[in-house]
Amino acid sequence: MTIAMGDPGAGLERLDPRFDGLVLFNAGLERLADGFRWLEGPVWFGDHQCLLFNDIPSNRTLRWSERHGVTPFLDPSGFANGQTRDRQGRLIQCQHQSRSLSRREHDGRTTVLASDARGHRLNAPNDVVVKRDGSIWFSDPLYGLLNDYEGGRQQSEQPPALYRLEPDGGTPEAVATDFDGPNGLAFSPDEQWLYVAESGAPGVAAPRQHIRRFRVNDDGRGLSGGDIFHTIHPGWADGFRVDEHGNLWCGAADGVHVIGPDGVLLGKVLVPQRVSNLCFGDRHHSRLFLCAATTLYALFTNTRGAAGP
């Protein structure tokens, strides 16, 4: 069953009864701002009631608030992609141009947290999440090195990998290396599982494109497993977040796919443009902010994001 939401191409597609409890029949998809090039990296700052997000090709980090709309935040942004906040509330950014992970201090200075691993420069950090113990986990695929549009073509020095970094940076430790293109990532609410989107190697006939699920080891540092958890159709998954019930809200070609903790596709929020990444925010952490190609959308839901940005 699909419920239209006003905008052409917007709607709710229910595939499992559990979807009904997660969405609101009378909440429409709101178009907050448009005219961008390729949006990414949404992160909510509850203390400022604002969203930070990136327009990667424009080399800018932008700020949206209900009151002021979109205003510049960082220009240039280092072609920043995925973003999150650490346990002290500081902004953590994946930056394509410098091939690094950086932290913006409370006074506005920038600290590079990681730029090398395994004796070589990182590729182009893509997405990042912070665990409750303060450790920083990020994906490092090749995508950001492959064209001039998202930061400038550069030579890769090592294969893609998934890394764990100490809260104050240093040398990241590779926690999974059997990836063609690690992308979005998020922990389950109890942090016993780490989900990672694998969006495949570019130009390959049958790319590996699915969401994998890793068990977090008891020491909280390493991973085991990594089996396929869910395969997205159509296309591939990019960024995603987990709600308070452990459901995955996943950016995809036709909108947002909501996947239960058992791997079942519960339903879709149909969006007129590809959703690259999303986050929960607003006062109750129940409003979904969607970075969708050239447009920033929002949708009030009937669930809340799991703790954290």
Residue 192 has what DSSP assignment?
S
Nearer to Mg ion, 19 or 297 (CB): 297
Q: Among all chains, which residue has been given the structure tokens 């089996």?
A: 227
Interface mask (CB under 5 A) for Mg ion, residues 237-266, using x and -?
A: -xx---------------------------
Contacting residues for 292 by C-beta, under 8 A, at least 6 apart:
39, 251, 271, 272, 273, 274, 275, 276
Nearer to Mg ion, 74 or 129 (CB): 129
In angstroms, give the least distance from the CB of 196 to Mg ion. 11
Distance CA 171, CA 168 (A): 10
Q: Residues 201 to 240: which contact Mg ion by CB under 5 A?
A: 238-239
Contact 112, 105 (CB under 8 A): no
Member of 127, 140, 150, 254 binding Mg ion (CB under 5 A): 127
Contact 85, 103 (CB under 8 A): no
* Only segment of 101-109, 149-157, 181-189, 262-270 that touches Mg ion (CB under 5 A): 181-189
Distance CA 82, CA 89 (A): 16
Nearer to Mg ion, 23 or 114 (CB): 114
Q: Is the dihedral of CA 132, 89, 198, 304 positive or negative?
A: positive
Distance CA 38, CA 47 (A): 26
Check residue 303 for interaction with Mg ion (CB under 5 A).
no
In angstroms, give the least distance from the CB of 234 to Mg ion. 17
In angstroms, give the least distance from the CB of 79 to Mg ion. 13
The distance of Cα 101 from the centroid of its chain, to the nearest Å, equals 15
Check residue 93 for interaction with Mg ion (CB under 5 A).
no
Nearer to Mg ion, 143 or 214 (CB): 143
Member of 83, 126, 286, 303 binding Mg ion (CB under 5 A): 126
Contacting residues for 113 by C-beta, under 8 A, at least 6 apart:
92, 100, 101, 102, 103, 136, 165, 168, 169, 170
Q: Which residues pair with 126 in a beta bridge?
A: none
Alpha helices in 187-299 (DSSP H): none
In angstroms, give the least distance from the CB of 117 to Mg ion. 18
Residue 17 has what DSSP assignment?
G
Contact 253, 238 (CB under 8 A): no
In angstroms, give the least distance from the CB of 126 to Mg ion. 5
Q: Which of 94, 123, 120, 93 is nearest to 201 (CA)?
A: 123
Member of 59, 77, 183, 273 binding Mg ion (CB under 5 A): 183
In angstroms, give the least distance from the CB of 28 to Mg ion. 26
In angstroms, give the least distance from the CB of 239 to Mg ion. 5
Q: What are phi and psi of 176, to 5 degrees?
A: -155, 130
Interface mask (CB under 5 A) for Mg ion, residues 141-180, using x and -?
A: ----------------------------------------
* Only segment of 1-9, 28-36, 103-111, 118-126 that touches Mg ion (CB under 5 A): 118-126
Identity at 261, one-letter amino acid code: P
Nearer to Mg ion, 5 or 161 (CB): 161
Size of residue set near Mg ion by CB under 5 A: 5
In angstroms, give the least distance from the CB of 277 to Mg ion. 6
Residues that bind Mg ion (CB under 5 A): 126-127, 183, 238-239
